[in-house]
Structure 1
Amino acid sequence: MRVLFISHEDADFGAPKAMFELILNLKNNYDVEPIVLLHSDDNIKKLCDKVEIENYVVGHRNCISKKNRSIKGYIHFCLKKIVYNLSRIIALHRIKKNIDMKSIDIIHTNVSIIDLGIDLHKIYGIPNILHLREPGTIINEYKFCRKRYIELINKNCICNIAISNAIKEQWIENGIRESNIKVIYDGVNIPKMPITKFRYTDKKVHIVMCGSISKQKGQHQLIEAVRLLPINYKNLLKIHFIGKGDKKYINKIKSNIVSYKLNDIFIFEGYKKNISEILPYFDIGVSCSKFEPFGRVTVEYMLAKLCVIASNTGASPEIIDDNQNGFLYRYNNYKDLAQKIRYVIDNKNLKINIGNLARKKVIDNFSMDIHSRNIYRLYERILNEGVYNETRI
């Protein structure tokens, strides 16, 4: 089975990483011969080259532009469309030149804002699968370089994979047929060796919050929650922000930390590659996101046996069973978040038990083996039946 994967142009983010791990698992464990289309000579290309996965840099672009009704915004969108259309022509030419498309069984586009798979389906008639990783609200938040984009998806994608029920519901609300969406949760690699918990020597309660630092991710909520804690609880805490992000937002929350006199509590660690190796040092993992389409970071916290506290938005309620293998707080409710932190600190044994149950939930439901098996079964079904309809399951 030859599968043509189409990657996103932002190779430093989670979607390309999830795609590569899936490709590698399918290549090693199933009769899948992957070919990868890349935007540029990026990190994913280096990984593909290292493990001898066939790949081509074709220079495709995403098909969206942030809405801006100003004259400057209109000019930006016009320039975006010109670049998009030129890159589209070049990409299709490079694909025709380098790949025997008659040998391709399935096209798998990794994100919803890349439409190259739609073009290839229209030209060659190959079944095209679209991975819905972004919230369906992007339909209203962005301008698309192609008109009637939802209609294009409905006509030219044999199946759409939603990475959570939360994502599925949003896309249905925005026009994708429910019968053409299948929920397949992302997966993470499970280390063969048992997890070993480590401890900082300062006997503090160490909280970690990973991911891009932005208003959407909500680091300010954690700062405001800590501000509400009594002084004896504040003295127990060390909180680590791991990641990079919006400089303006970072400067703002740093200023708030200083004005609240919390300098000794919060540490900005910057971006780190070896996140899975350092997570076992922490006690609590926090996610304050406005909407997590899946919540890979949350799953990685749980795999490392951290006690997770996450906002009750997006896919987090699908991943965390509240008060069983983690805790959910009411989004943007600083007091509720503070109470959850205080409760975990007060119940040390519960924190350990929660961490053990969290790891079991991930192993049983969100492993890469489970994810790749579900994807492969979908491929087989599409090739055997020639159509896909979720209501027929």
Structure 2
Amino acid sequence: MDKKICVLHVAEAAGGVERYLETLFKYSKDKVENILVCSQNYDYEKFKKLVDRVIVLKMAHDIQPSSDIKVERTLRRIIKQLKPDIVYAHSSKAGALARIADLGLNNKVIYNPHGWAFNMQQSAKKKEMYKWVEKISAHFCDKIVCISDAEKESALREKICKPSKLQVIYNGIDLEGIKKTAPMSRAQLGISEDAFVIGMVGRLSKQKAPDTFVKAAKLIKEKIPNAFFLMVGDGELRDQVENLINQYGLDSSFLITGWVDNPTAYMKIMDVGMLLSRWEGFGLVLPEYMACGVPIVATDVDAIPDIIKNSVNGMLVAKDDYHEATSKTVFIYKNFKMRLYLINVANKCVMDNYRGEFVAQNSIKLYNKTR
């Protein structure tokens, strides 16, 4: 029997990256020896069932020189000790730490930014800094995985590396796991059975535009009296979001769940799922909505139009345009045939393009080509 290829994964950011890794490990564990070095933010007990070994390191999300140097030194010792065939770094912070830690060691290195930091809305100075960090760091890895065509186009436009170093592997979801997930009980959540539930799954952060969601909710409630709004997630803007909900008098029509173990259980009770991001490397929640049979309203930014075709498998709206988000939601509410059409096309789309098995198969091909 052939020896399994050994891949040491390094991950700091949780959330979408964590869900991505769950799916990748589930569908590759029979052919790959996966070792995970993750931050304290991960549910590492869960990952012990999915990988051969889990190592937890305390990592800061922002730049902290003294802490980062300690992590790099520890990572270097781990790499030297375990001698993996491939070091696979996930997201920008882990990407920097792992590539520095591996300098001069005889390993192949793959990097997946899971969305370029320089595409975020921020000052021109910060954007330029992130571009140069990525350009310099690109010399110290063998392959860079882009999670969408838009991400590859961004890298080429900014001349991050040679085109031959880039490999597109679309994000995928665990369809089998989603199918087995039981929906949450509306009664348990205090939502009436006849409510029209509009949901948003994601971090309450500037990127995911929860403020736009609440502004749209105010207008939607005026047009759909039985509308109820469900925000699945948490984040640094939670206090601001709650203040806005209170200001609009929507308290009795809103629920913010905080972080939950299985967001798809909540998606299954939604009548519309929104992703109103201001920038987006992929948007893993989109195929998850599709798999749960939830019609989608999403912003026409970055990688989202690669996934959502307007009026075909979802509805696209302009960034920050809560009026348009309102009108598209009301249109779905009033047009049952259109709702069914969007759901049916989306279901075929996710089956054909975004299965977790595809992520694992394409990743294993990349490992074998790279080592």
Partner of 1:236: 226
Cα 1:256/1:196, change in 2 over 3 Å: closer
Partner of 1:224: 215
Cα 1:364/1:37, change in 2 over 3 Å: same
CA contact (8 A) 2:12 2:61 kept: no
Partner of 2:346: 358
Tell me how far 1:210 sits from its aligned partner: 1.0
Cα 1:197/1:154, change in 2 over 3 Å: closer
Partner of 2:38: 38
CA contact (8 A) 1:110 1:130 kept: yes
Tell me how far 1:52 sits from its aligned partner: 5.7
Partner of 2:293: 305
Cα 1:48/1:226, change in 2 over 3 Å: closer
Cα 1:20/1:230, change in 2 over 3 Å: closer
Give the whole-Å Cα distance in 2 for the aligned partners of 1:21 and 1:140: 36
Residue 113 of structure 1 aligns to a residue whose secondary structure is helix
Backbone CA RMSD of aligned residues:
2.9
Amino acid at match of 2:147: I
1:126 alignment partner, one of 93, 107, 110: 107
Give the whole-Å Cα distance in 2 for the aligned partners of 1:122 and 1:253: 44
CA contact (8 A) 1:160 1:181 kept: yes
Tell me how far 1:21 sits from its aligned partner: 2.3
Q: Deviations over 1:241-290 (max 9, x none)?
A: 111112xx333333333333333332222222122223221110011111
Tell me how far 1:163 sits from its aligned partner: 0.8
Give 4+ residue runs of structure 1 displaced > 6 Å after superposition: 194-199
Cα 1:4/1:60, change in 2 over 3 Å: farther
Identity of paired residues, percent? 21
Partner of 2:277: 289
CA contact (8 A) 1:36 1:56 kept: yes
Tell me how far 1:230 sits from its aligned partner: 7.5
Amino acid at match of 1:2: I
CA contact (8 A) 2:99 2:141 kept: yes
Residue 250 of structure 2 aligns to a residue whose secondary structure is coil
Give the whole-Å Cα distance in 2 for the aligned partners of 1:187 and 1:219: 24
Q: Deviations over 1:165-213 (max 9, x none)?
A: 2222333344312331111111101127589989955322111111111
1:27 is aligned to 2:29: yes
CA contact (8 A) 1:163 1:293 kept: yes
Amino acid at match of 1:38: C
Cα 1:194/1:271, change in 2 over 3 Å: closer
2:20 alignment partner, one of 9, 18, 21: 18
Partner of 1:327: 315
Give the whole-Å Cα distance in 1 for the aligned partners of 2:217 and 2:159: 41
Normalised TM-score (structure 1): 0.81
Give the whole-Å Cα distance in 2 for the aligned partners of 1:153 and 1:258: 45
Amino acid at match of 1:223: V
2:251 alignment partner, one of 250, 263, 278: 263
Cα 1:348/1:197, change in 2 over 3 Å: farther
Superposition map of 1:182-193 within 5 A: 182-191=167-176, 193=179
Superposition map of 1:69-84 within 5 A: 80-84=64-68
Partner of 1:5: 8
Which segment drifts farther, 312-321 or 175-184? 175-184
Give the whole-Å Cα distance in 1 for the aligned partners of 2:160 and 2:347: 34
Cα 1:56/1:236, change in 2 over 3 Å: closer
Amino acid at match of 2:19: K
Partner of 1:214: 205
Unmatched tracts of structure 2, length 5 or more = 187-191
Residue 123 of structure 1 aligns to a residue whose secondary structure is coil
Tell me how far 1:235 sits from its aligned partner: 0.5
Partner of 2:189: none
Normalised TM-score (structure 2): 0.85
Give the whole-Å Cα distance in 1 for the aligned partners of 2:205 and 2:62: 21
Q: Deviations over 1:138-172 (max 9, x none)?
A: 6953798x996334433221110011122223333
Superposition map of 1:108-257 within 5 A: 108-114=88-94, 115-119=96-100, 121-137=102-118, 141=126, 149-177=133-161, 178-191=163-176, 193=179, 202-229=193-220, 231=222, 233-246=223-236, 249-257=237-245
